[in-house]
Amino acid sequence: MQYFPVFLDANHLRCLVVGAGEVGARKLELILKTPAKITVVSPEAVSTVTKLVNDNDLTFHHRKFEDADLDNINIVFVATDDENVNKYVHDLATERGILVNVVDNTPLCKFITPSIVDRSPIIIAMSSGGVAPVLLRYLRQKLESVIPTHVSRLGEFSERFRDKVKAKLPSVTARRYFWEDVLDGDIGESVVKNQMDKAEQDFELALDAAGTEQNIQGEVYLVGAGPGDPDLLTFRALRLMQKADVVVYDRLVSNEILELVRRDAEKVYVGKARSNHSLPQEDINQLMVDEAKKGNRVVRLKGGDPFIFGRGGEEIQTLVSHGVSFQVVPGITAAAGAGSYAGIPLTHRDYAQSVVFATAHLKDNSIDLNWTSLAQPNQTVVFYMGLTGLPILCEKLIEHGLDKTTPIALIESATRENQRVVTGTLESITSDPLTKSVKPPTLIIVGGVVSLHKELSWFNEKDNNE
Measured CA angle at 190 (ends 188, 192), to 5 deg: 70
pLDDT of residue 367: 86
pLDDT of residue 273: 58
* Mean pLDDT along residues 88-117: 93
**Higher-pLDDT residue of 361, 100:** 100
pLDDT of residue 362: 67
pLDDT of residue 150: 84
pLDDT of residue 231: 94
pLDDT of residue 277: 55
**Residue 33 clears pLDDT 60, i.e. is over it:** yes
Strand partners, 119: 122
pLDDT of residue 376: 95
Domains of the chain, start order: 14-113 (3.40.50.720), 151-212 (1.10.8), 219-332 (3.40.1010.10), 342-456 (3.30.950.10)
Cβ-contact 224, 181 below 8 angstroms: no
* Mean pLDDT along residues 344-357: 96
pLDDT of residue 274: 53
For residues 346 and 329, give the distance between their C-alpha atoms in angstroms, rounded to a whole number: 23
- At residue 214 the predicted structure's pLDDT band, cuts being 50, 70 and 90, is low
**Higher-pLDDT residue of 113, 465:** 113
Active site residue 250: yes
pLDDT of residue 131: 82
Q: Summarize pLDDT for 163-190 with one digit per residue, the tens.
A: 999 999 988 888 888 998 898 888 988 8
For residues 262 and 246, give the distance between their C-alpha atoms in angstroms, rounded to a whole number: 9
Task: Name residues whose C-beta falls within 8 Å of residue 26's C-beta, 6 or more positions apart in sequence.
Answer: none
The residue from 181, 272, 290, 432 that is catalytic is 272
* Mean pLDDT along residues 294-306: 93
For residues 202 and 221, give the distance between their C-alpha atoms in angstroms, rounded to a whole number: 29
Q: What percent of the chain has pLDDT over 70?
A: 95
Q: Summarize pLDDT for 360-379 with one digit per residue, the tens.
A: 876 666 788 999 999 999 99
Peptide bond into 35 cis (omega under 30): no
For residues 411 and 443, give the distance between their C-alpha atoms in angstroms, rounded to a whole number: 5
Cβ-contact 337, 365 below 8 angstroms: no
Task: Give the amino acid at 268.
Answer: V
**Residue 2 clears pLDDT 90, i.e. is over it:** no
Q: Summarize pLDDT for 34-60 with one digit per residue, the tens.
A: 999 999 999 999 999 999 999 998 999
For residues 192 and 42, give the distance between their C-alpha atoms in angstroms, rounded to a whole number: 45
**Residue 4 clears pLDDT 90, i.e. is over it:** no
* Mean pLDDT along residues 66-72: 96
Task: Give the amino acid at 425.
Answer: T
Which DSSP symbol is given to 303? S
pLDDT of residue 142: 87
Whole-angstrom distance between the N-terminal and C-terminal Cα of the chain? Answer: 38
Report helix, strand or coil for 245. coil
Write the secondary structure of 212-240 as one string of H (helix), E (strand) and C (coil): HCCCCCCEEEEEECECCCHHHCCHHHHHH
Report helix, strand or coil for 262. coil
* Mean pLDDT along residues 291-316: 93
For residues 11 and 393, give the distance between their C-alpha atoms in angstroms, rounded to a whole number: 70
**Higher-pLDDT residue of 210, 379:** 379
Q: Summarize pLDDT for 377-423 with one digit per residue, the tens.
A: 999 999 999 999 999 999 999 999 999 999 999 999 999 999 999 99
The residue from 250, 302, 305, 396 that is catalytic is 250
pLDDT of residue 268: 94
Q: Where are the beta strands (DSSP E) in 263-405?
A: 266-269, 272-273, 276-277, 297-302, 325-329, 354-359, 379-384
Task: Give the amino acid at 168.
Answer: K
Query: Torsion over CA of 209, 211, 217 and 220, rounded to 10 degrees?
Result: 90
This prediction has a pTM of 0.71
Select from 113, 106, 95, 107 the least CA-distant residue to 17. 113
- At residue 216 the predicted structure's pLDDT band, cuts being 50, 70 and 90, is low
**Residue 463 clears pLDDT 50, i.e. is over it:** no
Q: Summarize pLDDT for 243-299 with one digit per residue, the tens.
A: 899 999 998 898 999 999 988 899 999 976 555 556 888 999 999 999 999 888 999
pLDDT of residue 72: 95
Cβ-contact 355, 380 below 8 angstroms: yes
Q: Is 296 exposed, middle or buried (0-12, 13-18, 19+ CB in 10 A)?
A: buried
For residues 226 and 235, give the distance between their C-alpha atoms in angstroms, rounded to a whole number: 12
**Residue 156 clears pLDDT 80, i.e. is over it:** yes
Q: 152: how many CB neighbours lie within 10 A of its CB? A: 16
pLDDT of residue 267: 94
For residues 413 and 303, give the distance between their C-alpha atoms in angstroms, rounded to a whole number: 11
Cβ-contact 77, 15 below 8 angstroms: yes
Pairing mode, strands 75-78 and 272-273: unpaired
Active site residue 272: yes
- At residue 466 the predicted structure's pLDDT band, cuts being 50, 70 and 90, is very low
Task: Give the amino acid at 274.
Answer: R
Long-range contacts of 394-397 (CB under 8 A, 24+ apart): 394/426, 394/427, 394/429, 394/430, 396/367, 396/369, 396/371, 397/371, 397/426, 397/446
Category of 161 on φ-ψ map: left (φ > 0), alpha (ψ -120 to 50) or beta: alpha
